[in-house]
Chain A
């Protein structure tokens, strides 16, 4: 189990114990974190699990693939340098304490 904190755009935080091997998106869905929609279920066909990795954590998370970058272009909220699809970030012990920020909207 790895602790992940989701910070909503309106200032709420959700701390979840995520299963290692799951994606950050799955951790959010399994723990009923509002703000991650994940319409395609992790097939990288939509951009509704968009999140911003906290700048302090950015270097610890592997960079996005080209496909993920293309899909991020379709995100509903502002695209930032820290933007990621949470379905493409795998939870592991190295990410213990990871903080991700949720965008204002996913659709």
Chain B
């Protein structure tokens, strides 16, 4: 880089933070400005549905202290909202009227909770869980609530439900689909988690839709289902998120399940990048355009963008997706991305762990584990290598992924 470039990042979540940090680590010498719409320094979101609810200490969530940004010359415009991108002049305008010129723009605008079209879903006191202030409110309500209803059986809903159960609350979870975490997991794994949570006292209502939510003067909510009505002191809506694309739309960028990004994570304007929850990209593993909501995608994508900008390269994004979810005593880990319709084979290890292998046309594509970190790590190595491994090959070795990963590692050395 001969002349100092100006780089603006919109969004100060995990993706925006990592982009700024990686740019400096790669040696980016231009200015970096991060615009975020929350007052807190960039923080980790995963603990909001887990340890934060127990401990309640927001300082533990900060990705880095303020001195980090000062030391690395990362300017923060927070809280502030980017309202307009002028692509012709290459300027971002914020709510307070400030104008920030850029040579590169990175959109890390994240996602927001979906509000389902349920009458009463917007009643005061019906919670969502996405931001630190959401979590603070939720934590506060949890102190006095006895009966808790969670609407939505995905990762966030279940993580919250297990924290609430552990704290002694009476918890009912309502899910429209016939099984839990159906979008991400095999049927066997859904079943396993359903049994586990019910064993912990969860009242689980599958294939049930909420018709409406009402509240009385005492602050008691009634969640009306087709054949019954569940009362609650606290209601959490955990029905998924949608990508924040408003800024990209107003900038005239292409949208396709989020901001449409290329394999190098550039938008339809090559000076503008998009990553994390807000962006869809061509995934080399499934050969589909996907949008991922995970820490892994946010950080790996940020690193690729930083590297490409600093070295003026156009390397494609090719990191293996992986995920985790802590629910009570169960640690769920997923290596690889499965699609609806992938086959599954469950293997119970003697050590109490469970591994569910996923296959597409008999090729090993993903592994779901409960309390099985060694299988998970082995699968990550195997799948990242993108060497085809067949179902038959795994069956022959009793699904011994650890040995296979070792063999692959030594072969590549």
- Count of chain A residues with Cβ under 8 Å from any Cβ of B? 19
Q: Binary interface profile of B, 49-74, with partner A (CB < 8 Å = 1, else 0)?
A: 00000000001101111011001000
Contacts of A44 in B (CB 8 A): 373
| Nearest CB in chain B: distance from A12 CB, A | 13
Contacts of B324 in A (CB 8 A): 40, 43, 45
Contacts of B67 in A (CB 8 A): 32
Q: Could you say which of A2-10, A55-63, A68-76, A94-102 contacts chain B?
A: A68-76
Contacts of B377 in A (CB 8 A): 70-71, 73-74
Contacts of B326 in A (CB 8 A): 43
Asked if B59 and A41 make an inter-chain contact with CB atoms under 8 angstroms apart, the answer reads no
Asked if B373 and A71 make an inter-chain contact with CB atoms under 8 angstroms apart, the answer reads yes
Known: A32-B71, A45-B324, A71-B373. A39 touches B299 (CB 8 A): yes
Residues of B within 8 A of A (CB): 44, 46-47, 59-60, 62-65, 67-68, 71, 295, 299, 303, 322, 324, 326, 333, 373-374, 377, 380-381
Q: Sort A-B residue pairs by CB-CB distance and give the 3 closest, nearest first.
A: A67-B373, A70-B374, A41-B44
Chain A interface, DSSP helix/strand/loop, else mixed: loop
Q: Determine if A93 is an interface residue (Cβ-Cβ < 8 Å).
A: no
Contacts of A40 in B (CB 8 A): 46, 295, 324
Chain B interface, DSSP helix/strand/loop, else mixed: helix
A74 to B296, CA, bound (A): 15
- A26's contact among B60, B299, B380, by CB below 8 Å, is which? B60
A71 to B378, CA, bound (A): 10
| Nearest CB in chain A: distance from B15 CB, A | 12
| Nearest CB in chain B: distance from A92 CB, A | 17
A45 to B62, CA, bound (A): 18
A30 to B68, CA, bound (A): 10
Q: Determine if A79 is an interface residue (Cβ-Cβ < 8 Å).
A: no
Contacts of A22 in B (CB 8 A): 60
Known: A45-B324, A45-B333. A39 touches B373 (CB 8 A): no
A45 to B63, CA, bound (A): 16
Known: A39-B295, A41-B46, A43-B324. A29 touches B374 (CB 8 A): no
Chain B residue nearest to A41 in the complex (CB): B44
Chain A residue nearest to B46 in the complex (CB): A41
Asked if B295 and A66 make an inter-chain contact with CB atoms under 8 angstroms apart, the answer reads no
Q: Determine if A31 is an interface residue (Cβ-Cβ < 8 Å).
A: yes
A44 to B46, CA, bound (A): 13
Asked if B64 and A29 make an inter-chain contact with CB atoms under 8 angstroms apart, the answer reads yes
| Nearest CB in chain B: distance from A70 CB, A | 4
Q: Determine if A1 is an interface residue (Cβ-Cβ < 8 Å).
A: no
Known: A32-B65, A45-B324. A66 touches B373 (CB 8 A): yes
Contacts of B44 in A (CB 8 A): 41
| Nearest CB in chain B: distance from A65 CB, A | 9
A67 to B63, CA, bound (A): 24
Known: A39-B295, A39-B299, A45-B322. A30 touches B373 (CB 8 A): no
Contacts of A107 in B (CB 8 A): 303
